[in-house]
Structure 1
Amino acid sequence: MPRALFQSHPYHLVEFSPWPILMANAVFSMMAGGVLYMHGIAHGFTFLILGFLATLFAFILWFRDVTTEGTYLGDHTLVVQKGLTMGVSLFILSEVFFFISIFWAYFHSSLAPTVELGSQWPPRGITALNPMTVPLLNTILLLSSGATVTYAHHALIEGNRGAAILGGALTIVLALVFTGLQGLEYVEADFTIADGVYGSCFFFSTGFHGFHVIIGTLFIAVGLYRIIAYHYTAEHHIGLESAILYWHFVDIVWLFLYAAVYWWGSDGVFG
């Protein structure tokens, strides 16, 4: 029987859990392993892999407990759901400022290119990607995925479980195609992250966005599984709503990236 039935308040009092301290140590191990690996220290890569696996292990088990609390124990009351939504919203706000710092670096160099850059943007010797090819296709794919995930959300609210599963599956397919094309674009690019400030800004901005796409895809995949497993109902699906909110943020960031980095920063605009 849900524990919330025996409480005189709607708040969730979290029980003692080993996952926060395990996660902290795992993330520290992964970071230390990454530093050792980049400095060529022996067994640094092994340390990095072990830290990553430990982080993944803690992540899965921690969210397993959260899923159990919300789905089977009834701990995610309306008040708790509001708190979770606020937490996700503040997390996305922090991500907004993270990408603002990236755009700040990009515009700092592109609006007033220095002599070292050839006083032009893209810098001399850099051939920017054509914004009307793969980047435009990726824009269409990502915007389409925003439509399909919204379709899945409304279908779930209306009790149409089949349509919700279809919308979630289509979103994942579109996201995977987007990620694959992004990787192909990196392989085909004439420049690398080592090619000055342009390469650094390009791969840092699009690469971190791609990382967010991968995280969002996993987020939605878990939501799709939970729809299939009857975890979500028309009235209670806070996890899926959080995933959709995150995915729309990823969509919006890509629009700014496409407009600024691909189109505005291309040879056709500046040349």
Structure 2
Amino acid sequence: MTRPIVLNAGDGSLVWDAPDGGSPVWRHFGPTVAVDSLPLLAETRGPASYSLDEDVPLSVAPVSGLGWFGPELLRISRNGSALPVAFTSCEIAESQNAVTLRHRDEIAGVELRQVFEVAGTAYVCRNSLHNAGAEPFTVEWLASALLPLTATAREILSWRGRHNAELVECREAMPQQTWAREVRRGISGHGGPGGVYVLDEGATLHTGTVRALQLPWSGDNRIAIERDDEGFWTLSAGALLQPGK
């Protein structure tokens, strides 16, 4: 039976639907919400034309090749070839201030540990991989966070710059395809540390809904916002790993 998982911080809520044994799927990321007012995600998603036989919404640990066509949380390889990952089990541990998830792929020998933790009025997201098999694998990409953005999002606020002209504010409309900010200097650039604000319709300095992300990593990094075929977006951030690093 599917059940809700809720983590509240300040005026915000993270909500997931957790099926028995499977990875939770995203239900809500935004202002505080009464869970009783949210129907199960499966009840809101009818079949679409030319869709897959089984619905594949955004989970907390999306991977490629299993019906999800958006950005992937992780990408790994073994002996120079892509290593497909299919998490078949997920252990969930809940407390008042944190939710910890342990996803496991017994065949690939991969374990993913995710932590969503309350930090004052914000959340800290941490993802880590563990090799539970006999052979090593190479991590090509592991997002520190991959979050849903609603169709009400309207504007991206970020920064760029150069010497003596640092932290120039950039305001851009939500992308029709993909928006990305990459740092390849090995350290934070003149645009400051990796971070972004996403503003809902009508949001200002004093009112409205704004979702903010800060990546606490001073090396090469990537933040991306990608539009989904269904009209919403995903927000991801992580260390930009160079070959051999």
Shorter-chain TM-score: what band? under 0.3
Q: Which structure carries more relative contact order (alpha carbon 8 Å, separation 6+)?
A: 1
Q: Which has the larger radius of gyration?
A: 1
User: TM-score scaled by structure 1?
Assistant: 0.22
